[in-house]
Structure 1
């Protein structure tokens, strides 16, 4: 196996870090949406939030 250049390694690490950041932000947004829907359904049990 031939050695990998420093520039290629930097690019791979950058892409890996960017994907980790995007996945974590996606999880944060999803979890906050779920929590907000749960809170709204507790406050307004007679409203169906999926119809809007």
Structure 2
């Protein structure tokens, strides 16, 4: 087993948590954009909003 210092483990954990947060916010923003597009398409069905 590879020995890793405590500081290195803390940095790895921080990077993993940061990447999880960034990915989850990406999904939230994407879902909000889709919801907004669907609402606009309901309100203005004859216009192309893409």
User: Matched residue pairs, number?
Assistant: 50
Give the match for residue 10 of structure 2: 10
Map 1:1-52 → 2, pairs under 5 A: 1-50=1-50
Alpha-carbon distance in 2 for matches of 1:14, 1:3:
18
TM-score by length of 1: 0.90
After TM superposition, which residue ranges in structure 1, 4 or more long, deviate above 3 angstroms?
none
Unaligned runs of 5+ in 2: none
Unaligned runs of 5+ in 1: none
Alpha-carbon distance in 2 for matches of 1:19, 1:29:
15
